Amino acid sequence: MAELRIITGPLRGTRFELEKGGWAKSIGRIDGMDIVLADKAISRKHAEVFYRDSQWFIRDLGSSNGTFINEQRITEPIPLKNNDQIRCGATVLLFESHQDSWILDKPAKDSPTIELEYNPGDTMVAIAFDNLQTKQSAQQRQRLMQAGQAALNLSHGIKNILQAVSTGRDVIDSAFSRNEIDQAKKGWNILKRNLEQIQKLVLDMLKFSKEIELRLQPCLFNRLIETVIQMVSAQAQMRSVTVAAQLDEQIGMVNVDPDRMQDVIMNLLLNAIEAVEPQKGQVTVSTELDTERHQMILRVADNGPGINDLSSLFEPFHTTKGNTGVGLGLAIVRKV
């Protein structure tokens, strides 16, 4: 049995089974393809996977941006091996052949017997020789895949911000040429907003990559929340989203790291603001003192569509926002 699994982009995790002797599986951007990928860098009819001579192959169908196997562009049908990565546009699919997982290479006649221990929930562990895929090499491949996903998401995030900065610059240039100061102010607001986004992106990367050393000190927690609500008010107003606070006034001084907790509250609020529908969105942040358990509870709730896949909620670089997010906000929340 073989299958293709999408490992980047909004359809990440989607699987497509490949049946031996069946029709070829077509990959493209239009309806009617067996595997439809909403990726602007993919051609309408991009590539196809087919079975021949007891082996799976892939061929490019004359796509504009090419089809790549393990980052090597193909110009003719290429046989697929287990764990090969197929890139079409910005989307990467992983080819998995469970038959290949058991036998990686045929041993030579004089080769000694090789015993294998296989755990379906883990990576194959080879007892003996170095020509087999070890657990360490599989982990290295996984780290490379995560790094590739991070670079892809970051490039999309930076590209979108730079496009907005370019738009703001053009508005200002046009306004100054006609001596329209009010119009120039609109362009400056676009520039200012996106420069702040660049700053947040860089700071998020630094916060995620560094070990966090908490500096605890007494803090008026409810007042900290009110401050953060003011900080995100511009983003809420842009989407016409209402942000309300329901704060338990029994809560006084709390021993926290104010800077890190500000990051937590801000990321939760921004995620909620971006998740709800513009003009109809409502976000509520509340606190509650649980005297029985000696705990303080912070809640951020919204009237958005909810979260379908909780398993990847805090996964770094996982985002459901398409090209508008890099997927670090909740990862930072969990780290703090």
Contact 262, 228 (CB under 8 A): yes
Q: What is the mean pLDDT of residues 46-75?
A: 91
* Total residues belonging to the chain: 336
How far is Cα 87 from Cα 69, in angstroms, rounded to an integer?
6
Q: Which of 100, 98, 99, 125 is nearest to 114 (CA)?
A: 125
Contact 7, 15 (CB under 8 A): no
284 has pLDDT over 90: yes
What pLDDT is attached to residue 315?
61
User: What residues form DSSP beta bridges with 17?
Assistant: 3
Judged on CB neighbours under 10 Å (0-12, 13-18, 19+), 224 is middle
- The three-state DSSP-derived secondary structure of 114-149 is CEEECCCCCCCEEECCCCCCCHHHHHHHHHHHHHHH
What pLDDT is attached to residue 257?
84
Q: Minimum mean pLDDT among 124-128, 239-243, 244-248, 326-330: which range?
A: 124-128
- The predicted-structure confidence for 164-206, as pLDDT tens digits, reads as follows 778 778 888 888 888 888 888 888 877 877 777 677 666 666 6
Q: Minimum mean pLDDT among 21-35, 106-120, 318-332: which range?
A: 106-120
Q: What is the mean pLDDT of residues 201-223?
A: 75
0.85 exceeded by pTM: no
How far is Cα 295 from Cα 292, in angstroms, rounded to an integer?
8
What pLDDT is attached to residue 124?
36
DSSP string, 147-207: HHHHHHHHHHHHHHHHHHHHHHHHHHHHHHHTT-HHHHHHHHHHHHHHHHHHHHHHHHHHH
When the pLDDT of each residue in the chain is averaged and rounded to a whole number, the result is: 76
Instruction: Tell me the torsion sign for CA atoms 237, 238, 242, 248.
Output: negative
Q: What band does 130 get if pLDDT is binned at 50, 70 and 90?
A: very low
Q: What is the biggest distance separating any 2 CA atoms in the chain, rounded to whole angstroms?
A: 85
Contact 60, 74 (CB under 8 A): yes
How far is Cα 31 from Cα 42, in angstroms, rounded to an integer?
13
14 has pLDDT over 80: yes
How far is Cα 63 from Cα 267, in angstroms, rounded to an integer?
40
Judged on CB neighbours under 10 Å (0-12, 13-18, 19+), 136 is exposed
What pLDDT is attached to residue 330?
61
How far is Cα 89 from Cα 63, in angstroms, rounded to an integer?
9
- The predicted-structure confidence for 15-48, as pLDDT tens digits, reads as follows 898 887 667 899 999 988 999 998 888 999 999 9
The pair of three-digit structure tokens given for residue 15, joined into one six-digit string:
């699987």
109 has pLDDT over 50: no
Q: What band does 76 get if pLDDT is binned at 50, 70 and 90?
A: very high
Other beta carbons within 10 Å of 312: 16
Q: Minimum mean pLDDT among 235-249, 253-267, 320-334: which range?
A: 320-334
Q: Which of 81, 86, 82, 47 is nearest to 64 (CA)?
A: 47
